[in-house]
Structure formats: structure tokens, C-alpha cells
Amino acid sequence: MEKINEEINRSMLKTGTSIVGIACTDGVVLAADRQVSAGNIVVQKDFAKIIPINDRLLAAVTGSVSDAQFLMRIVGAELKLKELKSRRSATIKESASLLAMITFRNIRSPSMIPSIVGTLVAGVEEDGTAKLFSVEPAGAVVEIKDYDANFGSGMPYILGVLERGYKKDMNVKQGVQLALECIKASTQRDTGSGFGVDIYTLTKEGVKKVLSQEIQSVFK
């Protein structure tokens, strides 16, 4: 059984991952790298790890690719059903709590391949307020008032940059630059991260993709 589990872990597509969420005075910044790995092999260089759930809610994911994609589809469908039944949109906290509940259930369901997904959830409330939540792979949900990297493989490198560069009064424009520094730092040191960065902002103006950039090694 141990050999089977080891083989599954080696062959499973994983996002390795560097993701970061930063709470700013005027909104939230989400950023992620693009690399997908299967064991020690890079299998995709342009995977979007920031997934739109609906027009005002985003999720940056780490863990198994298939589990993350399936989880986001389920959450999106459940939120749409809730909206139709209650005739109102779910709050960002309600959305994060729903995702956490499904994550909690999935990782504890008997399976040879347990579902392992960590998520940073960011969204804009109807009043224009942007909020950031972290849903841990075990299902815990926490509102983030400063920053988080949610157990991605690049987290140790990202946290060092955040500890040095984050300020409580920073705005979204400054947050975008800090997020870019975080992803660039992690892709230099973390073998599970690389090849590009995507950055989104969430403000009272809505959800906007502000940067999509390749990160490549230059050989001379």
C-alpha cells in the first residue's frame, strides 16, 4: 500500500505553487506562479492558479490540479444555487465558509487519493469592500487582515519578502509590486514554482487582472 501511495503521489499533477494574498487599504491583491508538476517533472508552464468563481470572487489554489478545478466548479455551482434560492448573493465570508466545509469533507473522505487543496479566497462585497480569506488544506478558514501564502511550496520564500516589505497602510498599487517581488523570489528558489506570474486586484471598481508576465531564465 505504501508503494502504491508513493507512486500516486509521484504521478499526481500538483501545482507545487507560490500563491500570495495581500490585504491593502483600498482592496486586495492576489498573485500566483504558473508551474504545474508531476513529481519532479514540470508538465505545464502556463497554468492559471487564480481561478474566477464568479464575477466578484477569485480563488488562488495550491495542491492537486484536478481537485482544485473540481472544487472550484462545485463551489461556483453551489453559490449560484444559493443566489437563486435566497435572491441575494452570498457574502465573501459565506463563500469562503462553503469552500472550507467542502474542503474539510473532501480531505476526510475515504480514498486512495485524498483531496488536498489550499485556497486563498478574495472577493468584493456588494458595498465595494474587498475581503481576503485563507482556507487551509485541512478545512480551517481564517480572514486575513494582512497577508498569507497558504502552505504553497514557495511559502517560506514569500513570507520572508512579506515580513520585510508589508506595511499596514499600503495601497493596492504598492501591494501589486510587493506581490510581484514575492513570486519572483519564490521562483528563484522553489523548484515547485516558476515560469510566470499572474496578479489580480479586487477593489470597489471590481476584479481586474493587472499583470500576466513570463518569468524566464536568461542564458548568455
Cα separation, 199 vs 21, in Å, equals 10
Element (H, E) at 172: helix 172-189
Q: Pick the catalytic residue: 17, 103, 187, 201?
A: 17
* Cα dist from 135 to 2, 61, 132, 138, 219, whole Å: 28, 10, 10, 8, 39
Closest C-alpha to 178, from 186, 150, 217:
186
Work out the end-to-end distance of the chain between its first and last CA atoms, rounded to an integer number of angstroms: 47
Is 17 catalytic? The answer is yes
Closest C-alpha to 16, from 148, 218, 189:
189
* C-alpha cell of residue 123: 472577493
Cα separation, 26 vs 131, in Å, equals 10
**Active-site residues: which are they?**
17
